[in-house]
Structure formats: C-alpha cells, structure tokens
Amino acid sequence: MYEEVGSTVSVFDRAYDDPVRVLDEDGEVVGDVPDLDDEELVGIYRHMRLARHFDERAVSLQRQGRMGTYPPLSGQEGAQIGSATALAEGDWIVPSYREHGAALVRGLPLKQTLLYWMGHEAGNATPEDVNVFPVAVPIASQVPHATGASWASKLRGTDEVFLCYFGDGATSEGDFHEGVNFAGVFDTPTVFFCNNNQWAISVPRERQTRSATLAQKAEAYGIDGVQVDGMDPLAVYSVTEAAVEKARAPETDRPRPTLIEAIQYRFGAHTTADDPTVYRDEDEVERWKRKDPIPRLEAYLRSEGVLDDERVAEIETLVETRVAEAIEAAESEARPRPEEMFKHAYAELPPELERQYEEFAAFREAHGDEAFLEE
C-alpha cells in the first residue's frame, strides 16, 4: 500500500484542524474511499454491529447485577474497528480499558472481555496468538509501553507496528508526553491513536488543554499529527493504514510515529458507575448520535449494493448469536479458584508467600468459603 505515496503524504500534510473524511453523516462519499474489497467492508460493518450489540448487552448485564462496573463504547465503533482493521496480522494493539471492539478485531474472544469485567482473573489471560497488550486502567500509563514495545520491534528488526489507544483526557498526563516524546526521539514504529470522545468523565475536551486540536501536539514532538472523523470508519481505516505503513517503512524521510486524533463521542456513560446527565446536555448527545458510524457505513454499503436487507438480517442474527454465546460461556465459567490470587505474582512463589498461601488454605479448609464472605 505504501506505493500510494501521493495519498499518504496528503494525509499527513493537511492542517491539524482539517479532519480526514470519507463518508458524510448520510453515508455519501466525500473523500477517497480506501481500497477494500466487499468482504473487508462488510467485515468492518459486522464488527461494528458486534461491538455495539456486545456493548448494549454488557451494560444490561451490569444493570442486572451479572457484571461489575463496565465502560461502554457505543459511538466509538468507527474509531475502534476502522483502526484495528488497518493492522497487519503480526501488529499489536496497546489498549486502554474501552477498546473491546478493537480487541475483538484482533481476535480477543468476547468471553475474555466479559470475564475481565466480571472480575475473573481469567479475563486477563489473553490467548498467546492474540496480539493485544493487557488492559491499562490508569490513564495514559500504556503510552510509554507502546513506545517501548515498538522500540523493541525496531531493535530486533521485526516489522511489527504498535497501535496505542488512549482518550482525550490522557493527553494531559505526564505519561502521554514521555511516551510520545520517546517515540519521536527513537523514531519507533508506533501509532498513537487518541479517541477524543469529548469527555473525560465530566471534564470536557476544552478543559484538558488550551490547544485548538490534540493532533497539533505532535508538532512539539517532531512527529506527524492528523485529525480524522472518528465516527467515519473508512476515514479512520485510511488514516491508520497510512500511519501503520509509514511506521513500518523506515526508508521514508518522514518520522515513523504518528499521532492520530479521532474525533468522536461516547453515547453512554464513562462507566456504568457514571451518570452523564449531571454534566452534559441531551441535545449534545442527540447531535452526535446523528454521526453514528453504523448507519453511515450501512447506507454507503447499501448504495454500493454490497449490503441489502437480507445480508443485514443475516449479520444481525450472527451478531446476536455470537454475543449470546459469549455471555453463556462467560457465565458458565467456574468461579475463579482462590489460589489464583497467589499464582503469577512471581515466577516462583517466595517462601513467605508460600507460607501465607498455606495458612490461607488451612483456614479455608477448616472454616469453608462462608468464612470469607461478609454478610
């Protein structure tokens, strides 16, 4: 893909406040449609539908007490699916805690995501062949990891690219600055993908920084920065793909790292513990809902004859089945065994910890599980 130097350069040479767009709110083409075949396009649509349905079910599970606090992603499917789809097989994502959709594209089973938010240790055990870093809850703390991991790829001469996700709030943290600065200095194959969803819990984007855009922060690190309509999955795909290929191709005279600011909106709460009606207007939510990435892509694919009612119905059925199966699988997972707490703290359990475990096991043996449950 890198042969298309002309379009790649144009992606990075635009003004910081001129977001890349491919589809407008009605799904009409307003930019260069990326070179994807019909099945790839349907794949993006299907993953977005899957992520949306998963999200709705997850929120409902939390409401029913079947899952703990959960961070919803509705509204952000275009950014997550569009970007993750642009990666090559061996590339990695380095997520924050909301990238269930991106992780899904990378092959993380939905069951894993459910188990994590259900508080099972097993939810943190990503399969060996899934190139997804552990969820990072402390804001921006994963940014330097992405730099280091991609630096390792450069040092070892593998050609893996690392796509790092974080939110608008994260750009205020020291770790963001340090991670992106290192990437610039060591010219690492990293794509920094900012999901600017306008709100860090209750604090609006305008309050995070006086900068007119987040993309322009790239300038200070000497790397490329670009804005994209984050609710336009095809635009997100194009920009990410250009950034990924540039990261992989050191012969170019451009810096390898890129900062992408994907403008989007979270339709729901920060987490199920949050009530956004306290701090934002319903009008604003409705305005952004008109940019919903799913109907946009669907309208485009219908107009191209790639999707029709029958195909959409098939996808709906598939999506419902897959999510239902994942929930069933996660809920029938045995309760984690308490010894899981002690496993993996060290390669080999130190003697004191061994002793603590034995004391714990003896107490459990003598008193049963009810001795651990407060009434």
Partner 1 sequence: MSETQNLTVVQAVRDGLYTEMREDDDVLVLGQDVGKNGGVFRATEGLFDEFGGDRVVDTPLAESGIVGAAVGMAAMGLRPVPEIQFSGFMYPGFDQIVSHMARFRTRSRGRFNLPMTLRAPYGGGIRAPEHHSESKEAFYAHEAGLKVVIPSTPYDAKGLLAASIRDPDPVIFLEPKLIYRAFRGEVPEEPYTVPIGEATTRREGGDVAVFTYGAMTRPTLEAAESLAEEGIDCEVVDLRTVSPLDREAIVEAFEATGRAVVVHEAPKTGGLAAEITAIIQEESLLYQEAPVKRVAGFDVPYPLYALEDYYLPTAARIEEGITEAVEF
Measured CA to CA, the distance from residue 62 to residue 68 in angstroms comes to: 6
73 counts as binding partner 1 under rule CB under 8 A: no
CB of 136 to partner 1, least distance (A): 9
What is the contact mask toward partner 1 in residues 300 to 339, using x (rule: CB under 8 A)? -----------------------------------xx-x-
Q: Residue 47 catalytic?
A: no
Measured CA to CA, the distance from residue 271 to residue 143 in angstroms comes to: 21
Q: Residue 102 is which amino acid?
A: A
What is the contact mask toward partner 1 in residues 257 to 276, using x (rule: CB under 8 A)? --------------x-xx--
The CA-based dihedral angle spanning residues 294, 300, 301, 307, taken in that order and rounded to the nearest 10 degrees: 80
Applying CB under 8 A, among 345, 347, 348, 351 the residue interacting with partner 1 is 345
202 counts as binding partner 1 under rule CB under 8 A: yes
Where does this chain touch partner 1 (CB under 8 A) — which range of 43-51, 204-212, 255-263, 316-324?
Answer: 204-212
Q: Residue 270 catalytic?
A: yes
Read out DSSP for 71-132?
---TT-HHHHHHHHHTS-TT-EEE--SS-HHHHHHTT--HHHHHHHHTT-GGGG---TT--B
Measured CA to CA, the distance from residue 12 to residue 321 in angstroms comes to: 41
Applying CB under 8 A, among 102, 170, 191, 244 the residue interacting with partner 1 is 170
Q: Residue 344 catalytic?
A: no
Residue 243 neighbours by CB under 8 Å, 6+ apart: 11, 191, 224, 226, 258, 260
Size of the site for partner 1 (CB under 8 A): 53
Applying CB under 8 A, among 200, 242, 243, 307 the residue interacting with partner 1 is 200
Applying CB under 8 A, among 129, 253, 332, 371 the residue interacting with partner 1 is 371
Measured CA to CA, the distance from residue 82 to residue 282 in angstroms comes to: 27
Give the CB-side neighbour count of residue 157, counting CA atoms within 13 A: 0
Q: List residues near partner 1 by CB under 8 A.
A: 68-69, 97, 116-121, 123-124, 135, 137-139, 169-170, 172-175, 200-203, 207-209, 271, 273-274, 278-279, 335-336, 338, 340-342, 345, 352-353, 356-357, 360, 363-364, 367, 370-374
